[in-house]
Amino acid sequence: MNTRTVGWFEITATDPDRCRKFYDGLFGWEFTEAEAGYWTVAGPGSSSMGALRSGDRDELTIFVVCEVAGTLSHLESLGARVIASPSRTPAGDLQAVVEDVRSNRLGLSSSGTPVAWFEIGTDDPGATRKFYENAFGWTSERDEAAEGVEYYSFLAPGAEQPIGGIFAGAGDYAIPGLLVSDVEDVLDRCERSGGSRVMGPVSDGNGLTIGQFTDPSGNRWSSFAVPSGG
């Protein structure tokens, strides 16, 4: 599979039981144990979209679906640093992890299903846009609907709709975006479940509503809702 877009995420948790309880309560996610300390994650009635791994740190990593070995060498030539060499997960996928030119963790995976959205935060939009265009062929164009901020939409080769975005001046991060029906409801329930509201909800010029939150371990996510009839 060589979709070259974000199609997987992995949560590493020092307290996986608390993590599972939080996401089950917030989204109804289902966790299937592949082996001790590793679960695949699926939404209600959907296929696997990510994984939860027990570990000695708390972090969230997005994964680009691609041919791992060749892409890894290419990213190194662009200045990325390998922090996890290719290996098989308990679910059987070949994966590796690098840091991009802004030290954001970025995974590579041999399989996955495109996520609803992803966002790269950066304090150097020029370097970030150049890196991802050279890395995966993603072009970026200014999103004029994002009023009052510097935001760019990523377009994959041949794609008609954006697959993700770059938020300039918001710090450096790389996070998944979740399509939800009500952003304020998600943020409110997140706070009541031990997470935190980072921003929002805010609406752009097209009526898209956006918010960000962190889980109880500090992992950051974006969530968005499309306008009625959108």
Residue type at 21 in one-letter notation: K
Residue type at 56 in one-letter notation: D
**Residue 37 domain boundaries:** 6-225
**Domain tally for the chain?**
1
Sheet of strand 173-179, all strands in order from the earlier edge strand to the far edge: 139-142, 151-155, 164-168, 117-122, 173-179, 220-225, 209-214, 196-203
**DSSP conformation class of 139:** E
Structure tokens at 201: 């909800």
Please name every residue paired with 95 in a beta bridge, in sequence order, or none if there are none.
87, 109
Q: What's the pTM value of the predicted model, to 2 decimals?
A: 0.92
User: What is the average per-residue pLDDT within 91-113?
Assistant: 95
Average pLDDT of the chain, as a whole number: 94
**DSSP conformation class of 227:** P
Beta carbons of 162 and 154 less than 8 angstroms apart: yes
Beta carbons of 162 and 140 less than 8 angstroms apart: no
Angle at 105 between CA 192 and CA 71, to 5 degrees: 140
pLDDT at 101 over 50: yes
Q: How confident is the model at residue 160 (pLDDT cuts 50, 70, 90)?
A: confident
pLDDT at 133 over 60: yes
Q: Provide the pLDDT for residue 3.
A: 62
pLDDT at 228 over 90: no
Q: Provide the pLDDT for residue 183.
A: 97
User: What is the average per-residue pLDDT within 80-105?
Assistant: 96
The predicted-structure confidence for 186-216, as pLDDT tens digits, reads as follows: 999 999 999 999 998 999 988 889 999 999 9
Beta carbons of 58 and 220 less than 8 angstroms apart: no
Determine which helix (DSSP H) or strand (DSSP E) holds 133, and give its type and residue range: helix 125-136
Beta carbons of 65 and 3 less than 8 angstroms apart: yes
In a domain, 66, yes or no: yes
Q: What CA–CA distance (Å, rounded) separates 22 from 195?
A: 8
In a domain, 1, yes or no: no
In a domain, 107, yes or no: yes
CATH number at residue 38: 3.10.180.10
For residue 116, give the 3-state DSSP assignment: coil
Nearest 10 degrees: CA dihedral of 83, 61, 127, 209?
180
In a domain, 175, yes or no: yes
In a domain, 119, yes or no: yes
In a domain, 230, yes or no: no
Beta carbons of 4 and 65 less than 8 angstroms apart: yes
Q: Provide the pLDDT for residue 45.
A: 85
